[in-house]
Amino acid sequence: MIVFQCEECGTQLQALDENAGKKARCQCGAVMPVPPLSSPSPAAFDPAPYQPSDPLPTLDEYPPVAPSGSSGPSVGSMMWGFCLMAGGVLWFVASLANGRTSASAIVLFIIGLFRVIGAFNKE
């Protein structure tokens, strides 16, 4: 269906597609050629009305983040064990740098190791 306006009175006229290019007579008596298949009105090309995006999820939907360092005494014990292990390693390396091995450093490392293992076993 071709929709066009009368050149004389502005009345909206309709013509079949196969009548494009033929003469059309308006109700006002004006005769004019039927334009080729009219392109769809610009409104038809408009994208869908803009939809605002979904509201951002509220913070309530996220699980609360557990505050670090307050998960129980075992974590603190484990940290102490790691500190002892690190201290033992540093001590041992420092002793090696001086050309000797330090049994005390090894003992310190082992104590730290057992603290860590004990903390794990408490879980």
Say whether residue 26 binds Zn ion (CB under 5 A): yes
Figure out which of the listed residues 3, 9, 16, 94 binds Zn ion, where binding follows CB under 5 A. 9
Q: Which one of the spans 8-16, 50-58, 59-67, 115-123 is the region binding Zn ion (CB under 5 A)? A: 8-16
Give the number of C-alpha atoms closer than 13 A to the C-alpha of residue 65, restricted to the C-beta side: 4
Encoded amino acid at 14, one letter: Q
Cβ atoms of residues 102 and 95 within 8 Å: yes
Cβ atoms of residues 116 and 78 within 8 Å: yes
Min dist CB 30 to Zn ion, Å, is: 5
| Residues at the interface with Zn ion (CB under 5 A) | 6, 8-9, 11, 26, 28, 30
